[in-house]
Amino acid sequence: MPRTGGVPESIAHIAPDPLEPAFDPGAVIARLKSRHTAVKRALLDQGLVSGIGNIYADEALWRARLHGEREAASLSKPAAGRLIEHVRDVMLEALGQGGTSFDALYVNVNGASGFFDRSLNAYGREGRPCPRCGALIRREAFMNRSSYSCPRCQPRPRPTR
């Protein structure tokens, strides 16, 4: 049963992605800033914004110079806005390059993999120099996955007391 806008009720809980006309950056920024959780965890929440996976979250956070463990609520409105803009840019660039394929199961209709993995600045680059500052990219465990960041450009947040 479709709801307004032709979205079936069964997926109505999934938020629009940053490339959809229905995407409202101001509303997403406000909801992001209301979250008392790590900003990367918030970005991966498909109820907040859809289409952002682990790779694109790491790349957007690298561009925004934010560590994924930073509390979303602590972001200034301009910082949150820049982050959402970087998410959109990463997704557009990935789309333009056919996506990011590390697995032979994920190919286009012609059987070709995407090429965005060649443009990654943080994800999967553990021990390699940050393209921006030269510090070695670090890998950290994150929700049974990996998270990649630059220790100089994206310092870990200080523990709260």
Runs of H (alpha helix) within 34-158: 39-43, 54-64, 77-96
61: CB partners within 8 A, 6+ apart: 39, 40, 43, 67, 68, 83, 86, 122, 149, 154
Q: Residue 103 has what pLDDT?
A: 45
Mean pLDDT confidence for 84-95: 92
Q: Residue 99 has what pLDDT?
A: 58
Q: What is the mean pLDDT of the chain?
A: 85
C-alpha distances (whole Å) from 39 to each of 70, 82, 83, 110, 146 are 6, 13, 10, 36, 15
Q: Residue 58 has what pLDDT?
A: 97
Whole-prediction pTM value?
Answer: 0.84
Q: Residue 14 has what pLDDT?
A: 86
Mean pLDDT confidence for 117-127: 86
C-alpha distances (whole Å) from 20 to each of 6, 25, 49 are 13, 11, 11
Q: Residue 117 has what pLDDT?
A: 61
What domains are there in the chain, each with its CATH number? Answer: 11-101 (1.10.8.50)
pLDDT tens, residue by residue, 59-81: 999 999 999 999 999 999 999 99
Q: Residue 102 has what pLDDT?
A: 46
110 has pLDDT over 80: no
More confident residue, 47 or 143: 47
pLDDT tens, residue by residue, 132-161: 999 999 999 988 889 999 999 999 998 766
Query: CA–CA separation, 39 vs 57, rounded Å?
Result: 9
Whole-number percent of the chain with pLDDT over 70: 81
